[in-house]
Amino acid sequence: MHQDVQEILFSLEEIQHRTRKLGEQISRDYAGKTLILVGLLKGSVPFMAELMRYLTVDVRIDFMNVSSYTGAQSGQVVIKKDMEQDIAGKDVLIVEDIIDTGNTLYNIKKMLEERKCASCKIVTLLDKVESRTIDIQADYVGFDIPNAFVVGFGLDFDEKYRQLPYIGILKKECYE
């Protein structure tokens, strides 16, 4: 365990097991369809890569680089890189590492729906319902988590800790 991590919430094995279950459910729900996965950079990359391993439907991938955090504080949503594919008439699944306030996903989902996709759903590895400030729900959730600052498996604090092969709670003294 990394010295800055207070405790491990989910091991790599737990993440893989839960992601497999999500992949099976999503494959059933989109059977016979082509699904466009839209990963929100950077944190979603490990989760999206793991999820794709378990999908049995045709998949296309794209990415958006969206920022709403500076350090530990949530701020305004800024699109740094937009997706490249035309999604009009297509089924879209937004892939997110964590839903915290809900601000980012609310704005991204609204934007993608305005592009006239056939459907737009959300899969998230982590759901922190306690800190939600906007009413938005994920269609597929890996784990519900407490209102704690988590890192690892793509999640960061100031670009650190993304490489950790588990999800852990960051010690308060590291971000206060």
Query: What pLDDT score does 136 carry?
Result: 95
| Residues paired with 122 in a beta bridge | 94
Stated pTM of the model: 0.92
36: β partners: 60, 92
Residue with tokens 């989910």: 10
The predicted pLDDT at position 66 comes to: 81
Q: Are 59 and 48 in contact (CB under 8 A)?
A: no
Would you say residue 56 has pLDDT above 60? Answer: yes
Active site residues per annotation: 100
Q: Two tokens at 134?
A: 């906007």
Mean pLDDT of 28-38: 97
Q: Quick check: 57 pLDDT over 80? A: yes
- Per-residue confidence band for 32, with pLDDT thresholds at 50, 70 and 90: very high
Confidence of residue 73 (pLDDT cuts 50, 70, 90): low
What's the CA gap between 166 and 171, in Å, rounded? 15
Give me the domains of the chain, ranges plus CATH numbers: 12-146 (3.40.50.2020)
How sure is the predictor about 68, in pLDDT bands with cuts at 50, 70 and 90? low
Q: 18-39: buried (b, 16+ CB within 10 Å) or exposed (e) per residue? A: bbeebbeebeebbeeeebbbbb
Residue 69 has a pLDDT of 55
Residue 155 is classified by DSSP as B
Residue 58 pLDDT greater than 90, yes or no? yes
